Amino acid sequence: MTEYLTARELAKRWKIHHRTLSNWRLTGRGPDFLKFGSWNIRYTLEAVEAYESSHFESVTVSSV
């Protein structure tokens, strides 16, 4: 069964404001989402985790 997150749930997960996700949707950024009606936005957990994996940054320390 597919698990879904609301924009507020995702914003809480990432510790950002839910309006940031709204702005990202308007500009084509962020994870894929589903829209039911005018304001009912859902993100699949699979899409969120894929987005997180693709935007993971590792920090390397070089010896100088």
Q: Where are the domains of the chain?
A: 4-47
pTM for the predicted model, two decimal places: 0.82
CA 49 to chain centre: 8
Whether the pLDDT of residue 43 is over 60: the answer is yes
Between residues 39 and 49, the one the model is more confident about? 49
In whole angstroms, what is the distance from residue 37 CA to residue 53 CA?
29
**Ranges 39-43, 53-57, 58-62: which has the least confidence:** 58-62
In whole angstroms, what is the distance from residue 31 CA to residue 45 CA?
10
Which residues fall within 8 angstroms of residue 10, CB to CB, at 6 or more apart? 18, 21, 31, 43, 48
The pLDDT value recorded for residue 20 is 97
Mean pLDDT of 44-56: 93
CA 54 to chain centre: 11
